[in-house]
Each structure stands twice: as C-alpha cells, then as structure tokens.
Chain A
C-alpha cells in the first residue's frame, strides 16, 4: 500500500485537474465570503443597496473571530469539489485504461485502492489548513481596512472547524470514489453523486417536512448531516449564510453519520474493485 500511495501522490501532484480543483477550493471562501461579502458591506454602507442586517452585523461576519463560520458556510461547494475530486482520482483510471497498468505492477488490488484513497485523504489534510489560513488572511485584511481590532476565534473552534471541513470534503470524495469505481466512469460517478446529493436529498428534505417517516430518513442522509454539522458552528449572520440545520440531533450524531457513510462508501467501493475484470 505504501508503494501505491507514493505512486498516487506523484500522479496527484503533477495532475493539472487536481491543481485546478485545489485552486478552486482555496479561492472559494476568499472570493464568495470575503470579496463579495466586503463588496456587499461597502454597497450597504454607501446606500447603493439596502439590507435588513445592520452594518456592524455584516462587517462582524467578515472578521477574524468568525473565520470558522465563514469557511463552513461554503459546505455546499465543498461537497461538490469533494465529489469531483473523488470521482476524478478513481474514474480517470478507467477513462485512460491505466488501471491495468497499475494492477500489473505488484501491489494488491486492495493496496492500489487504499493507496489512492490515502493519497486523496492526504490531499485534503494539506488543503484544509491552507483553506483556513487563506480565509484568516482575508479576514485580517478586512479588519485592517476597517480599522477594527483583531479578535481571534476561541481555541477549540479552528481545529473543530478543520475536522468538520475534512468530513464535508471526505464524505463526498468517498461517495464519488465509490460511485466511479462501481460505474467505471468519472462522468457517471459525478452525475450520479450530484443527482443524489443535490436532487434526491433535496427532494426528500422538502417533502420530509410534512411526513414523519421522511423526516427520520433525512436525519440519516449524508448531505443533510453535513449541512447540519456546518450549521452547528453558528447562527446565520448577515454576510455569512450558514446552511440551515436540517437533520435533527447532536453534533456527535452528525459526525457519527458522516464517518459511517465514509466507511460504508470505502468498503462498498473496495468490494466492487476487488471483483472487477479489468479489460
């Protein structure tokens, strides 16, 4: 597995598509939260647009002590990026026909599979602190521009926020990886994953409001628990739209459900991968 991990890291490091996706993830929060949020603040202040939220509220959401909520407000984008990351890592091997090249070299099938997953996890572990660092830097700049004193988030918030961000990215990555492995195509994996996370789950959430059975189901859905975990970090603020809490339960429930999904997706994908004929 260590050999497969080293090989996969080289492929990920050199792959242009990965650089684009990581770049998108890194600029996502800075652009959508800080750049557009600060622009909105300036427009409200100058009277170009009106807002129900007060100016201090809008600005407050952009300052350093709100950085965790700022990053987690993008959980929907993380789900999309994670899904594409997972699907690309697994699916391109089918598209290029390189799976046979990999499997003929020596590592076991499970070794190749876990090597790819560990490389993906390593990428996320590097990406997430970078993402928080950039958000923090953006919030420091906003504070400096408005001459507000620096106030840092509570000590536990940043590591907890990073762990939550890891789950937001890891869950859809594992889903994309599993779907692509089963369907043997990146496009199909991304399409099926998008359909599940953004259409079927959405529909279940809408109809679930009136039906107790559906509400119970929603409590155990991956996207609903990811959004609920994001929402558990704070209330909605004027400039930061934290996704509404959808699933009912504690933070421990949301985390446990997401971890269970990650393990299930990895296990199902591994079973499918071991059985494949590579033609």
Chain B
C-alpha cells in the first residue's frame, strides 16, 4: 500500500448465498481526495462500504483502510462514517447520541458541540432523536461522522432526505473537509454535486466497478451538437461523414468527434442543401455518462 493511498481493495468480493453483491472489486482512494462512488441502488456500493468498515466480512479478496485491515480499532478511530440510513438511539437526544459515539470513539465530548454546529443542528440538539425529521436525522448522521476529527470519511448518500439548501450545505461541507486535507469516500445519487466535488469517480454496476477516473476522463472529449433541417437528411449526411458517431437526442444530433471537425461538417451539411441552425461543442455531464454506463441495468443485486 502506497503512503498516499488511504483505501485499497484487491479482488474484494462478497456473496450472500449464491447472490454476488460485490465482485472482484479493485480500487484505490488517495489521501486528500474526494472519491465519488456511484451506482444504481443495489449495485454494491453500500456492501463495499460495510466491508471497508469491517461490518461484514468479504467472501474473497483483501482490503486495507488507512493501512490496516477493515474493522481494526486503530483504523476505525480515524474513520468517520455514515452508512445507509443513520441509526441512533430513539430515546436519546441528538446530543446524547453523539456523546455515546464520542465515548465509543474515545474522543473528548467537547467535540460533540462542534460537530452539531457543523451540520447546523445545535438548536435541536437536546430533542429526542425520534422527534427528528428525515433531514435532521441525516444531518445527525453526518455529525456523528465528524465527531472523531477523522482522516477518512466514508459517507453513504449523505444528502439523502435533505432539502435543496441542505444538499448545498452538505456539498460545501464536503468541499471544506477536502480543503482540510481529509479524504472523503462518498456515495451519492446527486450526480451534479458529485461532478462538482469529486476528484475521481468510480461507477459500480451489478457489483462490479465498470468505470473509474476523473470526471473529465469519464466524460471524455466534448461532442458536437447539430440542429439542422431537414433533420433526417442531416442525420444521413453526418452518419456518412462519421459512421457510428451520431446519436439522436430529441431534436438534436450529437456527433462524437473533436470540435475541430466542426467546420468540415458544416461545409458538408451546407453543400447537401441542409439549413444548419446550430453547430457547437457540448460537454457530456456525469449524469449522461452514468446513464450510458448503466443502460439496460434494472435488477438490483445487493
């Protein structure tokens, strides 16, 4: 394990009976980066996070977290985590729940107030957890991850249940954590936020890591957007110029070529008597890449 690698898995696999939840997962998360761990529900993200925390044992493969085996107390004390929905003692207040966590983690209870403040929950800290709204429960879950002043944060859908303002605040918080030099291993369905925050992204599908890289690497080079009349004739001209590179998206054509080819394509369209309304480079969003990677995926696996 290299010094700047915080999470390293090698062939990590988890089976529940005959069902394969995670298959041969090999990934690295580097110190100080925000790693967006994406996938549809049931693609194996949460199972992976549970394995990294030592909550479940892998069927095969290995993992090292902060240089230790998952679940090792010395590693866990440096990891803040929120896995799936936040679970706390319903009869305790948010403050007391975090006191329990501070005691378990062996950190000073003074950290509790700071963590509550970071998620803007101080005003309701003395109320019982069972009276909290979904968004407040989620924020308490994030506060629990922050109590330890951890080197690594494993956050499973931290924006789940948050309103737009809460989602924005969470994105700011994660960005500030990165600025403090902490590593964030983040699973989220908020692809726009991930696109903004993540240094690197891994995409899971049916238990396998099917794509990994920086957002720029995954989204690839920009494409050309063409709006022209008559539409079908324009499509034929472009397909003959760039075979297999044309995608129809509602009333526009997306051509998978370097923007430097724009002038050539414009000339060919014009020579064919086609009226070109628009021709400009467009970048693919992470969401588009994500949907393209998960095309045809329907059945959750674990």
B88 contact from A3, A101, A277, Cβ within 8 A: A101
Task: Report Cα–Cα, A10/B104, bound state, in Å.
Answer: 11
Instruction: Tell me if B81 counts as interface (CB < 8 A to partner A).
Output: yes
Contacts of B92 in A (CB 8 A): 11, 14
A104 contact from B57, B79, B100, Cβ within 8 A: B79
Instruction: Tell me if B91 counts as interface (CB < 8 A to partner A).
Output: yes
Task: Report Cα–Cα, A114/B101, bound state, in Å.
Answer: 17
Contacts of B79 in A (CB 8 A): 104
Instruction: Tell me if B1 counts as interface (CB < 8 A to partner A).
Output: no
Task: Report Cα–Cα, A279/B57, bound state, in Å.
Answer: 11
Q: Is the CB of B99 within 8 A of A100?
A: no
Instruction: Tell me if A156 counts as interface (CB < 8 A to partner B).
Output: no
Instruction: Tell me if B8 counts as interface (CB < 8 A to partner A).
Output: no
Instruction: Tell me if A84 counts as interface (CB < 8 A to partner B).
Output: no
Contact with B along A94-105 (1 / 0, CB 8 A): 001110111111
Q: What's the minimum C-beta distance from B176 to chain A, rounded to whole angstroms?
A: 22
Task: Report Cα–Cα, A11/B96, bound state, in Å.
Answer: 9
Q: What's the minimum C-beta distance from A5 to chain B, rounded to whole angstroms?
A: 9
Instruction: Tell me if B90 counts as interface (CB < 8 A to partner A).
Output: yes
Task: Report Cα–Cα, A4/B105, bound state, in Å.
Answer: 9
Contacts of B106 in A (CB 8 A): 3, 106
Task: Name the interface residues of A51-77: CB closer than 8 Å to any CB of B.
Answer: none
Q: Is the CB of A15 within 8 A of B103?
A: no
Task: Report Cα–Cα, A109/B50, bound state, in Å.
Answer: 15
Q: Is the CB of A6 within 8 A of B103?
A: yes
Q: Is the CB of A10 within 8 A of B87?
A: no
Q: Is the interface of B mostly helix, strand, loop or mixed?
A: loop
Q: What's the minimum C-beta distance from B139 to chain A, rounded to whole angstroms?
A: 15
Instruction: Tell me if B56 counts as interface (CB < 8 A to partner A).
Output: yes
Known contacts A111-B73, A278-B55; decide if A105 and B89 are in contact (CB<8 Å).
Answer: no
Contacts of A16 in B (CB 8 A): 91
Contacts of A208 in B (CB 8 A): none
Q: Is the CB of A106 within 8 A of B55?
A: no
Q: Is the CB of B56 within 8 A of A106?
A: no
Contacts of B71 in A (CB 8 A): 103, 109
Q: Is the CB of A102 within 8 A of B55?
A: no
Q: Is the CB of B101 within 8 A of A14?
A: no
Contacts of B56 in A (CB 8 A): 277-279
Interface size on A, residues (CB 8 A): 27
Task: Report Cα–Cα, A7/B112, bound state, in Å.
Answer: 14
Instruction: Tell me if A216 counts as interface (CB < 8 A to partner B).
Output: no
Q: Is the CB of A278 within 8 A of B87?
A: no
User: Whose C-beta in chain B lies nearest to the C-beta of A2?
Assistant: B106
**In this complex, which of A106, A109, A277 has the most chain B Cβ atoms within 10 angstroms of its Cβ?**
A106
Task: Report Cα–Cα, A67/B232, bound state, in Å.
Answer: 99
Task: Report Cα–Cα, A15/B104, bound state, in Å.
Answer: 17
Instruction: Tell me if A235 counts as interface (CB < 8 A to partner B).
Output: no
Known contacts A4-B104, A7-B104; decide if A279 and B55 are in contact (CB<8 Å).
Answer: yes
A10 contact from B90, B103, B148, Cβ within 8 A: B103
Q: Is the CB of A96 within 8 A of B89?
A: yes
Known contacts A277-B57, A278-B55; decide if A106 and B87 are in contact (CB<8 Å).
Answer: no
Task: Report Cα–Cα, A88/B50, bound state, in Å.
Answer: 25
Q: Is the interface of A mostly helix, strand, loop or mixed?
A: helix
Task: Name the interface residues of A11-55: CB closer than 8 Å to any CB of B.
Answer: 11, 14-16
User: Whose C-beta in chain B lies nearest to the C-beta of A4?
Assistant: B104
Q: Is the CB of A105 within 8 A of B105?
A: yes
Instruction: Tell me if A191 counts as interface (CB < 8 A to partner B).
Output: no
Contact with A along B74-106 (1 / 0, CB 8 A): 001101010101111111100010011101111
Q: Is the CB of B96 within 8 A of A105?
A: no
Task: Report Cα–Cα, A4/B88, bound state, in Å.
Answer: 16
Q: Is the CB of B73 within 8 A of A103?
A: no
Task: Name the interface residues of B40-74: CB closer than 8 Å to any CB of A.
Answer: 50, 53-57, 71, 73
Task: Report Cα–Cα, A104/B99, bound state, in Å.
Answer: 15
Q: Is the CB of A14 within 8 A of B55?
A: no
Instruction: Tell me if B144 counts as interface (CB < 8 A to partner A).
Output: yes
Task: Report Cα–Cα, A257/B81, bound state, in Å.
Answer: 43
Known contacts A106-B76, A279-B55; decide if A100 and B83 are in contact (CB<8 Å).
Answer: yes
Contacts of B99 in A (CB 8 A): 10
User: Whose C-beta in chain B lies nearest to the C-beta of A96?
Assistant: B87
Task: Report Cα–Cα, A109/B54, bound state, in Å.
Answer: 10
Task: Report Cα–Cα, A277/B54, bound state, in Å.
Answer: 9
Q: What's the minimum C-beta distance from A245 to chain B, rounded to whole angstroms?
A: 42
Contacts of A96 in B (CB 8 A): 87-90
- Write the residues of chain A forming the contact surface with B, with a CB cutoff of 8 angstroms: 3-4, 6-7, 10-11, 14-16, 96-98, 100-109, 111-112, 277-279
Q: What are 29 inter-chain pairs, A to B, with CB distance below 8 A?
A: A3-B106, A4-B104, A7-B103, A10-B96, A10-B100, A11-B89, A14-B91, A96-B90, A98-B88, A100-B50, A100-B83, A101-B87, A101-B88, A101-B144, A103-B53, A103-B55, A104-B79, A104-B81, A104-B83, A105-B77, A105-B104, A106-B73, A106-B106, A109-B71, A277-B55, A278-B50, A278-B55, A278-B56, A279-B55
